[in-house]
Amino acid sequence: AQKITQTQPGMFVQEKEAVTLDCTYDTSDPSYGLFWYKQPSSGEMIFLIYQGSYDQQNATEGRYSLNFQKARKSANLVISASQLGDSAMYFCAMREYSGTYKYIFGTGTRLKVLA
Amino acid sequence: EPEVTQTPSHQVTQMGQEVILRCVPISNHLYFYWYRQILGQKVEFLVSFYNNEISEKSEIFDDQFSVERPDGSNFTLKIRSTKLEDSAMYFCASSGDREVNTEAFFGQGTRLTVV
């Protein structure tokens, strides 16, 4: 079974509008962390934001926020006021407390911001 | 800002040859990882390394792969006899501790092309 599921292979958004990238996860571990990474066309992986399973509030980091719905096991990334530079691949990842602390990635969503 | 450094950025090798991909993790980090990404698709876990030994490896990480931390700063991935299907982007990552809310920092990747 997939631990991290990103169901949107590609998304378009108009510049200056908000966009939500979906991520659902599967774990029986009560303690876990959820992360979003951005991969621009240059290839590097850039950490954006994380959410801990015990965090009471949704994480925010500048124009990025995480819509964390624990009961639904979803951790959607919201990008507000999209910019052309936001065009990239976005990966959702999870780290569980049990095991060997590896990060498990979803298949990614390719976001294209339109001028 | 501390960063993970990978060399070379691009390597072309002939099928059957050995390659060594090099990484310098962030100096006070304890957990190290190798991931690979084929053609900008899913980021696949290869191996995690802690306390000078492998803590977990995936089924991709077969006998032709090995990792080493030879001198306390470098972290290397060796592919003994490369195959065409080993062509991919290889990412090294490190994290400071095993807490679930600690992000992994990624290097810029080594693009391996096997011909």
* Angle at alpha carbon of residue A39, lines to A35 and B99, rounded to 5°: 25
Residue B86 DSSP SS3? helix
pLDDT by 10s per residue, chain B, length 115: 779 999 999 999 999 999 999 999 998 898 999 999 998 789 999 999 988 899 999 999 999 999 999 887 899 999 999 999 999 999 999 998 877 778 899 999 999 999 9
Q: Is B56 in contact with B48 (CB distance < 8 Å)?
A: yes
CA dihedral of residues B96, B101, B103, B104 (deg, nearest 10)? 60
The residues of B whose Cβ lies within 8 A of any Cβ of A are 31, 33, 35, 40-45, 48, 50, 55-56, 89, 91, 93, 95, 98-109, 111
- Predicted pLDDT at A96: 80
| Cross-chain residue pair B42–A105, CB shorter than 8 Å | yes
| Cross-chain residue pair A43–B89, CB shorter than 8 Å | yes
Gap from A100 CA to chain B (nearest CA, Å): 6
- Predicted pLDDT at B41: 85
Average of per-residue pLDDT across A60-72: 96
- Whole-number Cα distances in Å, B86 to B8, B21, B36: 16, 13, 9
| Rounded-to-integer distance, Cα A109 and Cα A10, Å | 5
